[in-house]
Structure 1
Amino acid sequence: MKQLLDDFLQQLALMRSGSKATQQAYRHDITQFIDYCAKEGVSSPQDVDIYVMRGFIASLRSGKKAITNRSLARKLAALRSFYKYLLLHDHVTVNPFASLKTPKKANHLPAFLMINEIQDLLNSIIKDGEAAVRDRVMIELMYACGLRVSETAGLTIFQIDFANRLLRITGKGRKERLVPFYPSIGKQLKNYIDVARPMLLKHKKHSFVFVNMRGDQLTERGVQDILKRRALAAGLNQTLHPHMLRHSFATHLLDNGADLRTVQELLGHQHLSTTQIYTHISIDRLKQVYHEAFEKEGD
């Protein structure tokens, strides 16, 4: 079955269907299923039936690291797509995952930073070297434009329109979106590209905006490590991961009156329902609305 998986992933790459991260997740999830089948003596995709599927799901649900509904839904989506491919190419006669219900995902409110925490984080970065200049503008850009970690690491100079203050971002599913940035961050970004970035490049030639100390493209892992280190230095009381800046971007926009459709476009969400999770309001905003309402009652 692993050869069929390789063929499936190769077709995804040729069709440019899904990001590299999606393809890697598909490989991991489907390989996990293939390994389970091998342990159960199932070597052909045609031999997978409802009992094999139930056994696989049960194996994921058991043990100390029981899988969440969200992760299970992702794995089932990967297997559904894989079997759709197998069915299309006559490797199987039925897609056993097509009728399998997707578990409901728990609606966990996304963690985000308050505006004062964002300011504390940015102000804690003393721009005393090329790496510090890079870190400062990268973190602010991620927050101010709601960028994913993959979009940040993959950002090239050609995607920046300084004249119109816009980023041209290619997001999930190769969907393009235009995201504006404000003048002060434009100046910081220009200064980084003109002064600090050439020092980091060490004469290497490529168009990636954010560069590591060896002059190569900063990886997603590199971005994550910088955020953790900078958050610790700033004294934040929580671990900072890249998506928290994106969550903060969406939350602060909505708190300040942006409509849901606009936030959807800026985030690059395909479905409005994905954006709706950000309609939670910060405690400070709730207190403000509460006090304003009762002050009017007291007049």
Structure 2
Amino acid sequence: MGRPSRHKIYNEIYIEEAINYKNHLLILGLNKVTCQARYLYLKEFFSWLEALQIYQLQEVTTVEVANYYNYLLQRKSTRTGQNIKQKSIHDHMRNLQQYLGYLLEIGTIKISPASHLKFSYPNEKVERIIFTQNEIQELYKASNEQEKAILNIAYGCGLRVGELSLINKEDIRFTENLLIVQKGKNSKRRIIPINTKVAEELQNYLESQEENKNKAIFLNSKGQRMQEWTFNSTLKTLIGKTKFGQRFSTEELNKIGIHSLRHSIATHLLENGMKIEQVQTFLGHSHIESTEIYTHINQNQINEIQR
């Protein structure tokens, strides 16, 4: 879900609206990470309105919604300096449409300026960075204690970065060798088996962190729960310590994050003979089509070898 928002808002109405909407989403039971992302999306929209000197929600028309879409099309990512991805634009606009629908429901506005707009999911091809099994071994060999624990959960359990951030000590059941994701995508709960070696290494890591009284497993340098961007940064640092990591260009490195470990374990499980339905359950995919992408990746790798 990215780094903290750099978009400041000063209008008290907008500040209160953003907080109220976030609380509304939390009451609906959405994942905390999702609620935070939508809150930041809304803050950016409000910041954009303030720049246009629009300070009342009732002044927002279809023209402003269309102009905001055009603004997103041209906006640069603060991380890469490139235009933000189509998926991100889609997420921004869907959130805005849902927020305006929420205002309509509670009577703040009489007509939603985005009610007739349709935002189809983009067909943008997502490039997946897949580590080989040998490269994963290199990462383990180069890792310190904390980095190895991150690898054991992110790669070994196939967690999304948002799930990794939310994992607590109580979510690892060492007597049963299980890890419980309390709230995954769409707030789904799933149980993941972990092997004995991983369980022992995680238990040793937690015992070495006895001074950590926080319920979170991973803390940042300030002693607070580690967030998504810090996990991704930590992985990039670890990659830089390996021989294969030295070959990555800055552009390639920017595409790598914790999700690359999830893509990798999915591919490796299929390579090692696990049935696709089992991989689907392991990853927490609602639809088999989401898992099938990894069978395509395998076939592409075979085709590359045959050339």
Q: Same fold (TM over 0.5)?
A: yes
3-state SS in 2 of match to 1:85 = helix
Asked whether 1:12 is paired with 2:29, we answer: no
Could you tell me which residue of structure 1 aligns to residue 191 of structure 2?
178
In structure 1, C-alpha distance between the alignment counterparts of 2:242 and 2:43, rounded to whole Å: 40
Which amino acid in the other structure matches residue 4 of structure 1? E
In structure 1, C-alpha distance between the alignment counterparts of 2:52 and 2:239, rounded to whole Å: 46
Number of aligned pairs?
279
- Between 160-169 and 270-279, the greater mean CA deviation after superposition: 270-279
**How far 1:86 moved relative to its partner?**
0.6
| 1:166–1:178 CA contact under 8 A, matched in 2 | yes
3-state SS in 1 of match to 2:116 = coil
Asked whether 1:229 is paired with 2:237, we answer: yes
Q: How do 1:62-211 residues align onto structure 2 when only pairs under 5 Å count?
A: 62=74, 65-103=82-120, 104-125=122-143, 132-170=144-182, 171-194=184-207, 196-198=208-210, 201=211, 204-211=212-219
In structure 1, C-alpha distance between the alignment counterparts of 2:180 and 2:209, rounded to whole Å: 20
| 1:169–1:176 CA contact under 8 A, matched in 2 | yes
In structure 1, C-alpha distance between the alignment counterparts of 2:279 and 2:98, rounded to whole Å: 29
In structure 1, C-alpha distance between the alignment counterparts of 2:209 and 2:75, rounded to whole Å: 48
Distance 1:56 1:165, change over 3 A: same
Give ranges in structure 1 of 5+ residues lacking alignment: 126-131, 292-299
What is the aligned-residue RMSD (CA, Å)? 2.8
1:247-288 residue CA offsets vs partner (Å, 9 max, x unmatched)? 111222233343444333222234444434333324785159
Could you tell me which residue of structure 1 aligns to residue 9 of structure 2?
none
**How far 1:53 moved relative to its partner?**
1.8
Could you tell me which residue of structure 2 aligns to residue 29 of structure 1?
41
Which amino acid in the other structure matches residue 165 of structure 1? N
Distance 1:123 1:41, change over 3 A: closer
In structure 2, C-alpha distance between the alignment counterparts of 1:241 and 1:123, rounded to whole Å: 19
In structure 2, C-alpha distance between the alignment counterparts of 1:71 and 1:284, rounded to whole Å: 27
- Between 232-241 and 267-276, the greater mean CA deviation after superposition: 267-276
Distance 1:181 1:206, change over 3 A: same
**How far 1:214 moved relative to its partner?**
6.6
| 1:263–1:275 CA contact under 8 A, matched in 2 | yes
**How far 1:234 moved relative to its partner?**
1.3
In structure 2, C-alpha distance between the alignment counterparts of 1:110 and 1:281, rounded to whole Å: 9
Distance 1:81 1:63, change over 3 A: closer
Distance 1:62 1:255, change over 3 A: same
Give ranges in structure 2 of 5+ residues lacking alignment: 1-12, 77-81
- Report the TM-score, using the length of structure 1 for normalisation: 0.81
| 1:197–1:211 CA contact under 8 A, matched in 2 | no
Asked whether 1:249 is paired with 2:265, we answer: yes
In structure 2, C-alpha distance between the alignment counterparts of 1:63 and 1:289, rounded to whole Å: 39
In structure 1, C-alpha distance between the alignment counterparts of 2:196 and 2:176, rounded to whole Å: 10
**How far 1:42 moved relative to its partner?**
4.0
Asked whether 1:266 is paired with 2:279, we answer: no
Structure with higher Rg: it is 1
**How far 1:215 moved relative to its partner?**
5.6
